[in-house]
Structures are given as C-alpha cells and as structure tokens.
Amino acid sequence: MHSEQANPSPATGDASQDSGAMPTLEQLGAELAAAREALEALRESSLRERADLENQRRRMARDLEQARRFANERLLADLLPVLDSLEAGLAVEAVDADKLREGMELTLRQLSKVASDNGLEVIAPEGERFDPEHHQAMTTVVDPEKPDGTVVRVYQKGYSLNQRLLRPALVVVSNAAQ
C-alpha cells in the first residue's frame, strides 16, 4: 500500500506536471483571472503611489510658500526694539543735542547687533589691499607713503550677507606710480 502512495499513477497525478500535456481551458481561465487580479492590484498600488506623490508635492509647495512668506519673521521681530527706540527718541520734547546723539548711538548699536545676528557683515576696508570683488574704486590718489593699490578712504561701507556681497564698499585707492 505504501508503494502506491509513493508513486502515483499518471491517471491520478497532476496533469500540469506532465511536460507534454496541454493546459485545460479551466487552467487557462484561472491563470487569466490571477493575472487580471495582479494587474488590478498593481494599478491600485500605482494610483495610490501617484496620489501620495501628488499630496507630498502639494505639501512641499505649501511649506515652501509659508517659508517664503515668513522668512523675515525673525529679523523683523528683532527689529521691533530698534523701532521702539526710534519712536521713544522722537517722542522726547527736549532739544539737548548730547542726549539726542547718545540715543541715536544706542539705537545704531541695537540695529548693528540685529543686522550682524542675522548674517550681515560690514565691509570697511580702509588700510587694506584693494579687492575688486568687494570694493568699488571711485578714484585714485597719489600717496607715496601707502603701497600701490591700498584703500586710503572709504566713501561708503559695503555689506555682505552670509559671505555673499550685497553692496561693494565705495573707496579711494592709492596710486604710488605718479
């Protein structure tokens, strides 16, 4: 009895294992149904992934727009005390020039601190070598005491923001060759 179970006869064995047998219509129908189910599952998965990507794109666009709208929020919040100082200075009735100057100096220090805390750097190159990347020469002067190409005067300070030039310094450059 054990020998019959171990070696099934071709009549009772699986017909698909026989290499020469043709698949039956039922088998082909079952394979087609399985392929259609797999295709439908792939379509649904693709649609879900596409919808997820679209939602993520919209979310990123919204976040980027929010970042643009509120990019200056910290800077402006830091500037509020400077505005308060200016308004307080304007509200004072006394005409004491020393006190007015002192108040302006304090306000300028406040403003300079806010600017530097937000990445603004001053370019004031007096006595330094002329650098056309950061300085704009307005004129040259003969100065035998200074090396050729040295900034001898700054008309207007330059500024950079996080090492990116905002405005070059307007300068006078020495020319020892005359």
Q: Which of 58-62, 69-73, 83-87, 118-122 has the lowest mean pLDDT?
A: 69-73
- Whether 86 shows a pLDDT value over 60: the answer reads yes
Q: What is the pLDDT of residue 116?
A: 92
Q: What is the structure's pLDDT at 111? A: 93
Mean pLDDT of 161-165: 92
What percent of the chain clears pLDDT 90, i.e. is strictly above it?
A: 58
Each residue's pLDDT tens digit, 19-66: 557 889 999 999 999 999 999 999 999 999 999 999 999 999 999 988
Residue among 162, 137, 166 at smallest CA distance from 151: 137
Number of helical (H) and strand (E) elements in the chain, helices listed first: 4, 6
Strand partners of residue 171: 137, 154
89 pLDDT higher than 90: no
What end-to-end distance do the CA atoms of the chain give, in Å? 122
As a residue count, the chain comes to: 178
CA separation for the pair 141, 152 (Å, rounded): 8
Distance separating alpha carbons of residues 148 and 171, to the nearest angstrom: 14
Q: Helix axis angle, 73-91 relative to 97-117, nearest 10°? A: 180
pLDDT at residue 38 in the model: 96
In whole angstroms, what is the distance from residue 70 CA to residue 64 CA?
A: 10
For range 110-114, the mean pLDDT: 93
Per-residue model confidence (pLDDT) at position 145 = 85
